[in-house]
Structure 1
Amino acid sequence: MLGNRAVAYKGPGEVDVIDIDYPTFELKDGPGVNPANVGREVRHGAILKTVSTNICGSDQHMVRGRTTAPKDLVLGHEITGEVVETGPDVEFIKVGDIVSVPFNIACGRCRNCKEQKTGICLNVNPDRPGSAYGYVDMGGWVGGQADYVLVPYADWNLLKFPDRDQALEKILDLTMLSDIFPTGFHGAKTAGVGVGSTVYIAGAGPVGLAAAASAQLLGAAVVIVGDLNESRLAQARSFGCETIDVSKGDPASQIEQLLGVPEVDCGVDAVGFEAHGYGEDAAAEAPATVLNSLMGLTAAGGALGIPGLYVTGDPGGVDEAAKVGSLSLRFGLGWAKSHAFTTGQCPVMKYNRQLMMAILHDKVQIAKAVNAQPISLEDAPRGYAEFDAGAATKYVLNPHGYLNA
């Protein structure tokens, strides 16, 4: 039996590489596994040898202790892999295929999946619609920051790359298809970005940078990215974005300096529930700041794409309301301006094939946009620490050396 190493949450601010069981076609008990999922047979699954698996800002929320994640939860929902074994019910996916794994786990059979709402599949999480690998309250499917990982409903979930050699040549870009590229694209698309749009993206982390690259791909005339972190703003400028430092004051007034008016056509929240204020309040956490700001600076009739993560349980929330995900929003303003809002997990399968083709045919360089850097699995604790400290880097774990070439 092959061994299996994985990155696990050990407590607030701490991750470690531990030994775990090699995957089987049955979901076993373990940290975070929903009791109703224990013993679940996965005859429709595939076991992957991990090609690459990325550290995500959503993982960082857990590692900071801002969720109810249990100790030893295996992390990782951004997975690209090589199929090494398939279950007896898998028909089309074959051993040797190089594949992207959508972070949403979806059955392909329920009403929501059939309507392309794969982020809220009804059959994979006994607690509520929607599931993901290695994430708190998502059903307990083991994370992919590991040597090997099990993927259920393989024929449905896995996006096979059409040419192995071409895929491995562009693997650092293709690894972004599991989450942040579709998520950023979803944020831009649901904000209504199109040819000639002016766009403000709050947050210059990897999802915000992916949203910015997506807005350019969709034909935006001006893409403005706001953040408190100068190195991340510099990364946004590196591929043609305008930037504003929200520590210097109200984003709307800075947008007016760029556009001549204090508003944009489209707004994207790529920050989520750990948002801070702006100007003199930039040091203080204020979870509703970004949403309220976006309602203020998005033109009447515009839309807000909200790929930034919001949670129903936050032990570190600034007040009792925030601890249960209740925020003080200026919803009346958004209503008065006829804004549209799109929230929730990105339905990755709605976009990943098209974005794969854009990568394979050199229409976008997403790895360059988000400053992707491969590191070893053993270096994951360092990657988490540097990312948490504000590094303008998308860390990509490389357990088996596929990215070395």
Structure 2
Amino acid sequence: MADNRGVTYQGPARVEVSDLDYPGLVLRDGPGVHPDNVGRECPHGVILKVLTTNICGSDQHMVRGRTTAPHGLVLGHEITGEVVETGPGVEFIKVGDVCSVPFNIACGRCRNCKEGKTGICLNVNPDRPGSAYGYVDMGGWVGGQAEYVMVPYADWNLLRFPDREQALAKILDLTMLSDIFPTGYHGAVTAGVRPGSTVYIAGAGPVGLAAAVSAQLLGAAAVIVGDLNADRLAQARSFGCETIDVSQGDPQDRIEQILGVPEVDAAVDAVGFEARGHGAGAAKEAPATVLNSLMSLTAAGGSIGIPGLYVTGDPGGVDESAKVGSLSLSLGTGWAKSLSFTTGQCPVMRYHHGLMQAILHDKVQIAKAVNATVISLDDAPAGYAEFDSGVARKYVIDPHGVVGGVR
């Protein structure tokens, strides 16, 4: 019975708000659900009334037709909500709790979860380690750009906010805890950012901006953000970053002008596989550009954090190799400079409690940094189109009108 509504992928450049079944504590068959997950019972799960759910750049990769996502897939992996029903196996989470949902789904029982590697849980996706809501090849867990969503392993996965009223007052900051804030922070941490570091961040989209805020929070001496988009670069400057327009040439030259040396201590790739060239080649897609550039401009012995998404299946890839995720990397450069690389999903649970505390105690204003913009569920298709045009905003969907200030 259709007692729910959500945003669904309907083919390249097409999303719509569709009627959905109200979620239950079982994973039903549907678009993208792995056959081995159909009928999976979740007595350890809860039903959330979604308070906020954000549009992510990773969603845009699917909506552009750059993945093998099936039509009808319910989108959305950045979720904050209120618990309205708990399964019989839920012990600590209660009805009425307001919680953040890590975008990666984890069981809490497997070896990887017990080691804190919640981005590569072994038990939630029959295809490969790791899972997420509303995303292609991630097991088929239904997305949260909807009015209601089911969250499995609730006692383990959910981050409960200590005070409901305080949470609602800071909801635009707290909604970033489900993905982009921990993901940007993970990029900065794995790049080795520490007090006094010089940092270059490739990409001024929401994750790049979150990485820049995180680098500042970690005590970086200089944070430099590179992008092709003037509005997004202006957004980075609004909270104290230096910026580089990479359409004007190699970022290494500009880094030398800023720092006096042509290299940084730490670098973050917040672009991913749809990267474009630098300088005269900026109009052309060149998926290895950012990674090769970062290897060149990172100091020997340094580290590169790679929260930017890379995929194993890209129907729109520039060549046959790119279509299967095989890129022309200058790995010899990285080897010769003894660089370290960290890739993959951010293990959100490693960071989200501490970042929540930073928000609640006014140590960071992540919503302002990424220019959080509230829209209604019905305006989600327009939000996707505007985000794809390159606007310097992070769209926050408010399915029930609880946030206020809807554009």
Normalising to structure 2: TM-score of the pair? 0.99
Amino acid at match of 1:333: T
1:164 equivalenced with 2:164 (yes/no): yes
CA distance in 2, matches of 1:14, 1:243: 33
- Is the partner of 1:150 in helix, strand or coil? strand
CA distance in 2, matches of 1:263, 1:345: 27
Equivalent residue number for residue 106 of structure 1: 106
Equivalent residue number for residue 50 of structure 2: 50
Q: CA offset at residue 401 of structure 1?
A: 1.2
Equivalent residue number for residue 131 of structure 1: 131
CA distance in 2, matches of 1:7, 1:377: 8
Equivalent residue number for residue 142 of structure 1: 142
CA 1:54 to 1:74, structure 2 compared with 1: closer, same or farther past 3 Å?
Answer: same
Partner deviation per Cα, 1:87-110 (whole Å, 9 max, x = no partner): 000000000000000000000000
CA distance in 2, matches of 1:280, 1:266: 26
Stretches of structure 1 that go unaligned for 5 or more consecutive residues are: none
Partner deviation per Cα, 1:137-171 (whole Å, 9 max, x = no partner): 00000000000000000000000000001000000
Q: CA offset at residue 3 of structure 1?
A: 1.3
Equivalent residue number for residue 401 of structure 1: 401
Equivalent residue number for residue 317 of structure 1: 317
- Is the partner of 2:26 in helix, strand or coil? coil
Equivalent residue number for residue 292 of structure 1: 292
Give the conservation status (yes or no) of the 8 Å contact 2:192–2:302.
yes
Equivalent residue number for residue 8 of structure 2: 8
CA distance in 1, matches of 2:160, 2:9: 30
Partner deviation per Cα, 1:186-215 (whole Å, 9 max, x = no partner): 000000000000000000000000000000
| Aligned pairs (5 A) from 1:256-335 | 256-335=256-335
Equivalent residue number for residue 37 of structure 1: 37
CA distance in 2, matches of 1:27, 1:3: 17
Partner deviation per Cα, 1:316-356 (whole Å, 9 max, x = no partner): 00000000000000000001000000000000000000000
Q: CA offset at residue 38 of structure 1?
A: 0.3
Amino acid at match of 2:247: S
Amino acid at match of 1:107: C
Identity %: 80
Equivalent residue number for residue 376 of structure 1: 376
Equivalent residue number for residue 213 of structure 1: 213
CA 1:389 to 1:34, structure 2 compared with 1: closer, same or farther past 3 Å?
Answer: same
CA distance in 1, matches of 2:368, 2:224: 18
Partner deviation per Cα, 1:266-300 (whole Å, 9 max, x = no partner): 00000000000000000000000000000000000
Count residues with an aligned counterpart. Answer: 405
Equivalent residue number for residue 70 of structure 1: 70
Give the conservation status (yes or no) of the 8 Å contact 2:194–2:220.
yes
Q: CA offset at residue 2 of structure 1?
A: 7.3
Give the conservation status (yes or no) of the 8 Å contact 2:272–2:310.
yes
CA distance in 2, matches of 1:382, 1:25: 31
Stretches of structure 2 that go unaligned for 5 or more consecutive residues are: none
Partner deviation per Cα, 1:367-394 (whole Å, 9 max, x = no partner): 0000001100000001000000001000
Q: CA offset at residue 77 of structure 1?
A: 0.1
Q: CA offset at residue 49 of structure 1?
A: 0.1
Equivalent residue number for residue 341 of structure 2: 341
Equivalent residue number for residue 203 of structure 1: 203
CA distance in 2, matches of 1:2, 1:19: 6
CA distance in 1, matches of 2:217, 2:402: 28
Give the conservation status (yes or no) of the 8 Å contact 2:134–2:140.
yes
Q: CA offset at residue 402 of structure 1?
A: 1.6
- Is the partner of 2:145 in helix, strand or coil? coil
1:154 equivalenced with 2:181 (yes/no): no
1:80 equivalenced with 2:80 (yes/no): yes
CA distance in 1, matches of 2:46, 2:121: 19
CA distance in 1, matches of 2:25, 2:376: 27
Amino acid at match of 2:58: S
Measured on the aligned residues, the alpha-carbon RMSD in Å equals 0.7
CA distance in 1, matches of 2:332, 2:326: 16
1:238 equivalenced with 2:244 (yes/no): no
Give the conservation status (yes or no) of the 8 Å contact 2:2–2:20.
no
CA distance in 2, matches of 1:402, 1:84: 15
CA distance in 1, matches of 2:97, 2:374: 22
Amino acid at match of 2:211: A
- Is the partner of 1:72 in helix, strand or coil? coil
- Is the partner of 1:11 in helix, strand or coil? coil
Amino acid at match of 2:334: G
CA distance in 1, matches of 2:111, 2:322: 32
- Is the partner of 1:404 in helix, strand or coil? coil
Give the conservation status (yes or no) of the 8 Å contact 2:236–2:369.
yes
- Is the partner of 2:386 in helix, strand or coil? helix
CA distance in 2, matches of 1:374, 1:354: 25
